[in-house]
Amino acid sequence: MPDVANRPLGYVGRFAPSPSGPLHDGSLAAAMASYLDARAHAGKWLLRIEDIDVPRTVAGADRVIMDQLQALGMHWDSPPTWQSRRLDRYQAVFDRLLQQGQAYGCACTRRQLGAGAYPGTCSHGLAPGQRPRAWRVRVPQGVVHFDDRWLGPQCQDVAAQVGDFIIRRADGLWAYQFVVVIDDGDQGVTDVVRGADLLDSTARQQVLAGLLGQRAPRVMHVPLVLDESGHKLSKQNHAAPLDSRNALATLEKAWMHLGFRPLPPIADVAGFWAQALPRWAVRFNI
């Protein structure tokens, strides 16, 4: 029986790639998981281009990513959004946090801090003559608990293990942790399905959601696709772009990466989704 009590009303999921290059096998596995979960819940699937990290953005990569998704039969339900077009919104939220005393300027350098949790050096104000290099959010005390739909119960003491974390970087760019929470709240995202490399970000994002008065989405972190040396496939590691010309084989490969058994013989992309969707629903009791 489907777990009706655990099914969100008005499911809204999203895929949020950074346009630092084309999609590869690893990013497709995350895209596929988020797409299947949205469709299994009869929900909406949004596309967000996370181009907030300007130095890593490659011109035209957003269009390439959209073309790849469509060639693989993955179609979003609302017009795509770009973080680079929402800078005024991020500034407004940042100003509010400053006014409320929930964020503050920090003059510390990475060399001064070293490894480990931020010790709160600048949390009570800067010394005379100091200027902020970055801005941090005040993290409340307490352990953050959440249930990951793939990995099970998780917890992190953000205050003790991370400390007050950066929401605006020393180069003036907004931090990923900050903008993604604002975006999820504004778009009404109920469920985040993404790669396991972002599991460690979840508790920080839930802290921010609480400070902003938002309900944190449910989360599912799917296994990473690794290269032959056991490292995560990534654009930084020069992962090969997807071959969308052979869409069916590409989809079947991603399906196997997610730990599913091979599907029966399939004629086309539409047939793949028709076979994969009910299997996903059964696997996660939807």
The answer to whether the annotation marks 245 as part of a ligand binding site is no
Residue 35: which residues within 8 A CB-CB, separation 6 or more?
Answer: 13, 15, 45, 74
The answer to whether the annotation marks 194 as part of a ligand binding site is yes
Higher pLDDT pick, 221 / 242: 221
Alpha helices in 55-120 (DSSP H): 61-71, 87-99, 110-113
Are 203 and 209 spatial neighbours (Cβ–Cβ below 8 Å)? Answer: no
The answer to whether the annotation marks 253 as part of a ligand binding site is no
Query: What is the CATH superfamily name and number for domain 10-283?
Result: HUPs (3.40.50.620)
Residue 229 predicted with pLDDT over 70: no
The answer to whether the annotation marks 235 as part of a ligand binding site is yes
Nearest to 206 by CA among 142, 130, 257: 142
The answer to whether the annotation marks 17 as part of a ligand binding site is yes
Write out pLDDT tens, residues 49-103. 999 999 999 999 999 999 999 999 999 999 999 999 999 999 999 999 999 999 9
Q: What pLDDT does residue 202 have?
A: 98
The answer to whether the annotation marks 50 as part of a ligand binding site is yes
Q: Where are the domains of the chain?
A: 10-283
The answer to whether the annotation marks 118 as part of a ligand binding site is yes
pTM of the model: 0.92
The rounded distance, in Å, linking the Cα atoms of 165 and 158 is 9
Neighbours of 241 (CB within 10 A): 15
Are 155 and 145 spatial neighbours (Cβ–Cβ below 8 Å)? Answer: yes
The answer to whether the annotation marks 14 as part of a ligand binding site is yes
Write out pLDDT tens, residues 168-182. 999 999 999 999 999
